[in-house]
Amino acid sequence: MKIKSPKYEERKIFSPEEIKKLYEKSSPLQLIILHLCYGCGLRRNEASELNIKDIDLENCLMYIKKGKGKNEG
């Protein structure tokens, strides 16, 4: 019995020039979100679920409630 492995679509990776254009055309709020996602390694859904109460500036902590795989923590 042969089991076929699932097929994955190849993800698009932005070129440095495309990233530069993205930053140039972003609003100040979008820039903050881009920096937050890139600097903290957040996925799109993790960033969209983030609330101000999830950020502890005093202790430099951020709480991600629903990470990849729907894990809490």
- Put simply, whether the predicted model's pTM sits higher than 0.85 gets the answer no
Highest-scoring range by mean pLDDT, 11-15, 25-29, 33-37, 63-67:
25-29
Asked if 63 contacts 50 with a C-beta cutoff of 8 angstroms, the reply is no
**Phi (first) and psi of residue 63, to 5 degrees:** -105, 120
Does residue 25 carry a pLDDT above 80?
yes
Mean pLDDT of the region 53-63: 94
Amino acid letter for position 19: I
Q: Which helix (H) or strand (E) holds 19?
A: helix 16-24
- At residue 29, the pLDDT reads 92
Does residue 3 carry a pLDDT above 90?
no
Does residue 70 carry a pLDDT above 60?
no
